[in-house]
Amino acid sequence: MMAPSKEARDKWVRGLKYAMQMEQLAEQRNETNRWVREAFNMADKNGDGHLDFEEVLKLLKTLNTDIKKKYAKEMFDAADTNKNVGKGRSVLDKEEFVNFYHRLTKRVELEEIFLAMATNLYATEDECRNIVDNFEPEGNCRKKDQLSEIGFRNYLIAERQQIFNPANRVVWQDMNRPLTHYFVASSHNTYLAEDQLKGPSKVEMYITALRKGCRCVELDCWDGSEGEPVIYHGHTLTSKILFKDVIKAVNDYAFEASPYPLTLSLENHCSVEQQKVMAENMVSILGDKLWCPQNDYVATPSPEQLRYRIIIKGKTLPLSTNDDDLDVSDEDEAADLPSDPASQEPKEKSSSSSSDGHKKIKLSPELSSITSMKSVSFKVVDSSFIPDPTFSVVSLGESKVEKLIQTNPFGLNDISHSKMIRTYPAGTRTDSSNYNPVPMWNHGCQVVALNYQTGGEAMQLNHGRFMDNGGVGYVLKPAFLMSEDLFPLVTENVSRSVSKVLKITIISGYQIPKPNDSTKGEIIDPFVKVEIYGVPSDVAEYKTKVMENNGFNPRWRETCSFKIRVPELALVRFTVTDHDRTRDDFIGYYCLPVLSIQDGFRHFPLFDKYGNQFSQTLIFTHVTLTNA
């Protein structure tokens, strides 16, 4: 090709390449149109040449285009331009349907990427053929090993191509370390469906938590009528459920979401007689699932060692005793609850106060013998602390652990090297609200218990933390949380060679719903907030602009960048919110560990405040995670 200058030549080359791309795209669109017309003919069962709205909805599902009914109806009405067919009914003829389909599925931002990709080599020939085979719906394109715009869109929204790395959807971490080396998905007052004062207790709440991958559930046990122990929030108006019904549900659902050990955290307020009933129920119902090593010294086991086993956590008697039952101190949550000022009666018939302020309870040997995670006292962290390799747990209320984080973070982390640390919400959270779990994780606390029934920021972060490692409820802690020498990475702003830069472009959204509790009309004004959670030096956020009157296909095209010093502990949370002059309304979220991010053009779904995924909503991004 001859040209008067290099610049003129390059312009011609670019122009010709663009013309070739557009010609190829037009050919593919013709093929797509033919395919859509064939699908229309298949759906037109009576051969009258048109489809009504319900027929169109059925056809869209066969074309793998699932869309909200209201949006589809609006576009259907807009496409119904030929009023001379249908005999008074709203219908689409074949060409109207073709136009309707393209308007409905059109995503300009994907077309631009598709054109750019079409002239560059990004994958091997075998990889390309595999993509065509799996995602191209049109037969002629598949025969020619071609990927149409529709096939490209199907590829980009496939689960394995989304922002969460598919390598982390399976168990990929070493599961042979002691349990103290793992964060454990944990529930507080699992039986409660609502508040802590008069809400209902339900067996179904255990099933829900277990199906979400929870690996530690709580049972508040009290004497019930007719010799049957019950579970409820003591000294409140919450309803009661039978202990044995909960154990039956645990037996049925314990390992539905994860094969790794489940802990039953017993808060025991029962008489010795009903403790024996509890033990009998667990032995007869759970059978071989119970893990009950019969010796005084038990080293901390690993998740792999305890696959499909159930651990009972609670107080234990020394095996050397010959007494039928002995007093043990009660370190559990009831000690943190305010006493009823109107009553001078002790809270439990079988309890008495000890000189250190803790209550004493009688413990039955039968219950003690099946309790394998021993609850131990926590008094003070000091230089005389001696690591104890036996399998034990320390329970700390929210205010106590937050004070330790402020005053003695190294001492708190030291305990987690050899013991499990369980934290739980303050007794004053009668509305079942939650605390921020991130500081506890940052300091090595393994069993950070949350109110699973309460949606919000804390449970969203919990969801993101335990998406990793196959979602089995156990995530390996970073090595520096198990080392006194390396722990300053958390407490001090130490520079690191493994620091990362996370760059995110929020490109667009698709079918964003209006808030469930919104009193506004159907049109929303969405914006996206990106937040980084982790060690204090990494905490940051970014907000996009508000897109007015567009929940169907808003396009932001905004980029933010974060330097993350400790990526091993960092989570990124996306929230989509409907802007309003009086109050912004939460719509949905997505949260994942920073090190589980997959680079490139990526979609992610949205979840509502209770952790349920919206079936059609997607946010489209471009993401890079590079060394700082």
Question: Quick one: three-class SS letters along 397-451?
Answer: EHHHHHHHHHHCHHHHHHHHHHCEEEEECCCCCCCCCCCCCHHHHHCCCCEEEEC
- DSSP one-letter string for 336-367: GSPP-TT--S-SSTTEEE-TTS-EEEEE-HHH
Cβ partners under 8 Å of residue 63, min gap 6: 36, 39, 101, 137
The alpha carbon torsion through 100, 102, 103, 106 (nearest 10 deg) reads: 160
> Residue ranges of the alpha helices (H) in 199-354?
204-211, 243-253, 272-286
Helix (H, G, I), strand (E, B) or coil at 286: helix
Whole-angstrom distance, CA of residue 103 vs CA of residue 100: 5
Helix (H) or strand (E) holding 455: none
Which positions are catalytic?
188, 233
Q: In what order do the strands lie in the sheet with 526-533?
A: 540-543, 526-533, 571-578, 585-593, 600-607, 613-627, 500-510, 555-564
Compute and round to an integer the Cα radius of gyration of the chain.
30
- CA-wise closest residue to 261 among 307, 324, 316: 307
Helix (H, G, I), strand (E, B) or coil at 254: coil
Amino acid making up residue 18:
Y
Q: Give Cα 330 to chain centroid, integer Å.
A: 33
Amino acid making up residue 102:
H
Whole-angstrom distance, CA of residue 135 vs CA of residue 145: 11
Q: Are 552 and 531 in contact (CB under 8 A)?
A: no
Measured at the CA of 359, the angle between CA 355 and CA 362, to 5 degrees, comes to 120
The total number of residues shown for the chain amounts to 628
Whole-angstrom distance, CA of residue 216 vs CA of residue 210: 9
Tokens matching residue 114: 């598709």
Amino acid making up residue 325:
D
Whole-angstrom distance, CA of residue 58 vs CA of residue 53: 9
